[in-house]
Amino acid sequence: MEAAATAARAELESFNPATGQRIGAVPKVEPGEVQAIVDDVASVQPFWAQLPLGDRARYMRRAAQAIIDDLDGIATLLSREQGKPINEAYVMELLPTIDALHWIADNGPGILRDERIKQPQIFFKQKKAWFSYEPLGVVGVIAPWNYPWSIPFGEVAIALMCGNGVVLKPASLTPLIGERIQTIFERAGVPEGLVRTVHGGGAVGNALVESSAAKIFFTGSVDVGRGVGMACAERLKGCVLELGGKDPQIVLADANLANAVSGCLWGGFANAGQTCSGIERVYVMREVAERFTEGVVEGAKALRMGDPTSFDTEVGPMVSADQYDIVVELVEDAVANGATLHCGGPTEVPGLDGRFYAPAVLTDVTHDMRIMREEIFGPVIPIVTVDSEEEAVRLANDSEFGLGASVWSLDRERATRIGRRIESGMVWINDHMYSHGACQCAWGGVKHSGLGRAHSKFGFYECVNVKQMVWEPSRIRDFWWHPYDASLAGSLDSAAKLLYGRDADKWAALRAGAVPFTKLAAKVLRVRK
């Protein structure tokens, strides 16, 4: 009996959120084992770091092909383990990672090669300077459950392209997907042990943060992310934190209203609303508010709920009972405080035992309601009618979060102006959140939505040590070296006026500097014994 209990504790089980059925299990690790795993990856990483950039790029392309070879199997696993509709598994998770791997392979060598630094200063002309981008060593990635494939996969791939090893800690609700990420890179032929997966609860994630891993990428809640940031700061190492959002959608009177409605439905209800950058607040101009709201309510009622592995399902289950309860509580609180619920709420899907919440639309909400302050992370759209651009911007910025935002208008100049005023890491005009699927675009937020950036060239820079390198041919001495005398200050005084001063002062500066320049030149050319 004791041996059986020990074996049970050693496994992390995975369950289908739509049916409640067990779909598999993975071995758990103890927190005390994490450092040894990081050490094992660190022992492999130097070999990988020595590979030319072009060779690392070839492994990225092989990984893309490995995904393609198992595309349907991974899509089905994503749908079964996380609960997202299978079409979203292809659109929002798999195709973006295949494309990202090719973008990383095509552009990584150019981003990471030594970068020459121009030095226009006349007194540095003999020197050559460049940036060298060197791997950090081992990077830790702590993944979320809402996009358990695409979010960590891009981070792992860029870290590898930069020459690092990776330890991945998947979310406890989606361990099988995390294990499959490691498998893909192994099938691509990366050195054995370069990518390792550790499974377990929060204690395992804490152990990875506190390990000798050189940097941590974390996606999750603000409270946990704050703890990750503090632990990294104590160890003087970096972290990239993506901590969720409360994304606003601003709909102006001149917007293509049909597109704004469709964008709202997808941005708010894709993945059952369990998206960090999903639309969680809408501010619509009064002139079009009634038509917009009617369109969203009608569209929400039409979305088909059901088995996420079915190709016609548009909204699947909530990932867990806990997440379901949060959504129920927030909506009930809003209604109790005066909000109007036009559609949606708890529902049952015949033949399925999971927790389903039908797409909900609220109006008459105010900013003192919890639902407008806290992250919903569920299929709920609160709509607020506004009277001006100023009001829309003020309310959009009235949040502790700042991940993404969207502005809907046919006036590009006006929409761009509004977008610049919104406090967020990303703004989309006449679209929402699509750019996570475009690896060349940066991803990350401001305020409580996090620190740092994933994807793009900035995501590469997060995974390297930017080293300044300089070559001095050593033919002459630098003029600022010892010994000091009056000629140094006199020369610099004249040089500053000649190089950067008013034209009217330059002739006088040249005359004043003639003697100091001569003495300084003699010093520079003199060989010191």
So which residues are the catalytic ones? 242, 276
Contacts of 491 (CB under 8 A, 6+ apart): 479, 513, 516, 517, 519, 520
Q: For residue 82, how many C-alpha atoms fall within 13 Å in the half-sphere facing its CB?
A: 34
Cis status of the peptide bond prior to 191, with omega within 30 of 0: no
Which residue in the block uniquely carries the two structure tokens 């964008």? 263
17: closest CA among 333, 316, 230?
A: 316
Assigned token pair, 46: 């130097």
Q: What is the 3-state secondary structure (H, E, C) of 84-111?
A: CCHHHHHHHHHHHHHHHHHHHHHHHHHH
306 vs 312: CA distance, rounded Å: 8
Which residue in the block uniquely carries the two structure tokens 């006036």? 411
- Burial label for 169, CB within 10 Å (0-12, 13-18, 19+), is buried
Cα distances (Å, whole numbers) of residue 261 to 190, 324, 400: 45, 25, 26
Question: Is the CA virtual torsion 410, 412, 414, 415 positive or negative?
Answer: positive
**Residues 396-410, buried b or exposed e (16+ Cβ, 10 A)?**
beebebbbbbbbbbe
